[in-house]
Amino acid sequence: MLVRVGALRHKTFIRLFSGVAPYYLVNEYPKSGGTWLAQMLAAATGLPFRRNQPIRFEPSVSHGHFLNPLGLRNIVVLWRDPRDLIVSFYYHCYFVNEHGNTLLVKLMKERSGFADYSNIRANLPAFIRLLSDWPVSPSFNWPQFARVWIDRPGTIQTSYEALRRDTPTELTHVIHALTGHSLDSARVREVVAEFDFNRVKAKAGRNRPQGTEVSFVREGALGGWKQHFTLDAETALRECGYLSAMQALGYSDGGHPSLTEIR
C-alpha cells in the first residue's frame, strides 16, 4: 500500500509541478532505457534523480511511464525497438530481479501458466497478446503509448538506439533541447563513462542480492530480439497493432529513429 501511495504522490507532483519546479521527465514504455537516460541527465546537469525516494518540490530529473499527457511539461520521450523491449520486459515479468518485481512475477505467472518460462521463443507470441489484451504494469500497451506520444508537440523525442550509437552527442542534444544549456564536452564524456552500459551491468551483477534470478540490468543489446522472435511472434505484433507505430518510428525495416528532435 505504501508503494502505491508513494507512486500516486510522485505522479501527482509531476502532473502539477513539472513546469514550475521544474521536473525534467523521461517518459517511456517500460524497458526502453529510461532509468539509464535519467541517471545520465541528472549527473550531467547536477540535478537530483530521486529514484525510489519521495519526490520533493525542487528542480530535478524524474522518470515514469505516463500515457495521459495532462499537466506534463519538460518531457523527453524515449523510444526503443518494441521487439527488444518486449524481450526485456518478458524477463522483468517472469524472473525476480533486484528492483522489487516479486509481486509482478507472481501475478504474471498466474495469468500466463507457461510450462517452461525459460523457453522465451515458444512463449513470446502469447506474452505479446497478454500485454495487449490484459496489461498489468503499466495499465496500457505499447501501441497505445505510441499513439499518444509519437511526434507529440512540445516534447523532445529520442531513442535508446541513438543513445547507444553515439551517447555523448545524443545526450548533449537532449540536455540542450531540454534546458537550453550547452554542457562542457569533457563533462559529458565523464558522465557517459560513469554510466557506460558494460560498467553498470558489471556493477549490478556484483551487487545482485541473493534470491534474485536475473539482474535488472540484463543485456541492452541492439537487435537482441532476433534471438527470440519467431514468425508467430511477428504475427502477434501485427495482430496487436504494433506495425503502424513501428513504421512511423523507423523500426519496421530494422532502422532506428533519427537523433533528437524537438516537436
DSSP of 16-82? HHTTTTTEEEEEESTTSSHHHHHHHHHHHHT--B-TTS---SSSEEEEE--S--TT--SEEEEE--H
Q: What is the pLDDT of residue 182?
A: 86
AA identity, residue 149: W
Q: What is the pLDDT of residue 254?
A: 46
Has residue 216 got a pLDDT over 90? no
Has residue 212 got a pLDDT over 90? no
Share of the chain above pLDDT 90, in %: 59
Has residue 153 got a pLDDT over 50? yes
Rounded CA-CA distance 124/163 in Å is 27
Q: Give mean pLDDT, residues 118-135.
A: 94
Q: What is the pLDDT of residue 163?
A: 95
- In 51-184 the beta strands, taken as DSSP E runs, fall at 60-64, 75-79, 155-159
Contact yes or no for 215/205 (Cβ under 8 A): yes
Q: Give mean pLDDT, residues 144-173.
A: 95
The C-alpha cell at 68 is 495521459
- How many Cβ atoms are within 10 Å of 175's Cβ, its own excluded? 23
Helix (H) or strand (E) holding 262: strand 261-262
Share of the chain above pLDDT 70, in %: 84
Rounded CA-CA distance 15/170 in Å is 26
Q: Residue 116's pLDDT band (boundaries 50, 70, 90)?
A: very high
Q: Give mean pLDDT, residues 238-250.
A: 95
Q: What is the pLDDT of residue 219?
A: 61
Q: What is the pLDDT of residue 161?
A: 95
Contact yes or no for 218/87 (Cβ under 8 A): no
What is the per-residue pLDDT across 43-82, written as a single tens digit (0 to 9) for each?
999 999 987 677 889 999 999 999 999 999 999 999 999 9
Q: What is the pLDDT of residue 218?
A: 53
Q: What is the pLDDT of residue 257?
A: 43
AA identity, residue 19: G
Rounded CA-CA distance 231/147 in Å is 25
Q: Give mean pLDDT, residues 8-14.
A: 87
Which of 45-49, 101-105, 132-136, 143-147 has the lowest average pLDDT? 101-105
Q: Give mean pLDDT, residues 194-203.
A: 73
Rounded CA-CA distance 213/97 in Å is 6
Q: Give mean pLDDT, residues 213-227.
A: 69
Mean of pLDDT over the chain: 85
What is the per-residue pLDDT across 23-40, written as a single tens digit (0 to 9) for each?
999 999 999 999 999 999
Q: Give mean pLDDT, residues 129-157.
A: 94
CA nearest neighbour of 58 among 67, 68, 46, 69: 46
